Amino acid sequence: MGAELHDEVFPDFPAPADGSPWQAPADLEAHLYELCRENDAYGYLRAIAVEGLYRPVSVTETERDATESELLTVDLPDGRKVAQVYTAGVLPRPHPAVVYEYVTLDSLAQGCPDDVDLLVVNAATPCRQFFLTTDDEREVWADLHDTYHRADGLGNRIDTRRTGAPETGSPLLHGLACGAHLCFTNGDAWNTVDWHGAGHHNEIGRLEEWWGVHDRDDWLSLQERLLTRDVSPWYWDFVLDARTAPARRHGPRVDPELWRDRVEAALRHRVAETGGPGEPHRPGEDPELDQFVTHLRGLVGKVLRYEARFRADELLPPDGHVGTVAAWDIGRASKMARWGRGARYATHAEMTKALERASEAARATYTSWETFSAGYVLGRCLHFDEESFGSWYTDVLRAHRALTTDPDSPWLTVPFP
């Protein structure tokens, strides 16, 4: 794939030469650094039990099941064997020879080989910590995992990297911010391009299960379709576009029946133009077209009801409405670029180019993060929610509120224009 070669196979964070406090890359590592300084090994274990860890695996072993590949170990001069694992924030740029797999403290307790004497977390960093791997110690690991780890408990939060992010004001950082809804939902760091996600095999599984992506060609095709807004149904924006001209003349609250009539007229005109003079397009001439017209007229009402709820929930201003749902594909394109990198279907250059294109598309279509978010939320609701106003809506509403108010949010730190 032409993935970039570099020397950063494993994390390497030297301590400040002048003895000043270390600037950790993320909040977890900052916490672990303080625990190291306080010699609080139990608190350290408890923190990594919550979040989980990553272990390096040779690419030559990635064909095997992620649970079968062996822990990477090194031999100390005294003959003891040490296994290496890391927290998410210290992981290096993806390297063509090594991937990182997610692992819990419990799975380490159950699967650590008998010949391993020590577990080192975050080797070659100022928040390094060693643990014995005796049966008693591993029982503590398993108990802490059972008490503190929740597989779905790391989502619904803003995670910001403190070091190593793209330059402020760059299209790349803006493109990363376009995926903030999904980063919040999944609990992912929004501003890193050193993407390992949920671990190599988990990234592959995510793309297979949710997107039907099984290889590099699938990813390339889907990434392009998202960037050109060809994944969502075309007629969603067709219906929204039909409101534009009346809204300019009559104000944002367009009469619903006038809007429906304009949708129908525009659709029938489009069929007549594309199909030629003899193409049936008038009411009663084509039952399938009549059925589609009915569907689009009904979609007007659905959009109006969603927008009313959005205004009630302050996702839209009192007279606000959604002009396009393009953000639904653009936001997912931003994350798809990173997911493709995590699965190693994308090179670093392909990922960054896709992120920059997502930024360009967002800026060409919207004027603010708030209007971008409203378009994204409506697209998600039309795709999944079916007017139930269930979790497909309430979860993304929570994301919108956090992203528009939290001081750490990219939407308050990355200018939209």
The tens digit of pLDDT for each residue in 92-127 reads 999 999 999 999 999 999 999 999 999 999 999 999
Residue boundaries of the structural domains of the chain: 27-148, 171-232+326-413, 234-312
pLDDT of residue 250: 80
The tens digit of pLDDT for each residue in 317-327 reads 999 999 999 99
The tens digit of pLDDT for each residue in 159-201 reads 999 999 999 999 999 999 999 999 999 999 999 999 999 999 9
Query: Mean pLDDT of all residues in the chain?
Result: 94
The bridge status of strand 81-85 relative to strand 129-132 is unpaired
Q: Which phi and psi (to 5°) does residue 86 adopt?
A: -140, 155
Q: Which residue has the higher pLDDT, 279 or 12?
A: 12
**Cβ(103)–Cβ(85) below 8 Å:** yes
| pLDDT band, residue 277 (cuts 50/70/90) | low
**Cβ(97)–Cβ(59) below 8 Å:** yes
Give CA torsion, residues 324, 328, 329, 330, to 10 deg: 80
**Cβ(322)–Cβ(278) below 8 Å:** no
Query: What distance in Å separates the CA atoms of residue 346 and residue 362, rounded to the nearest whole number?
Result: 22
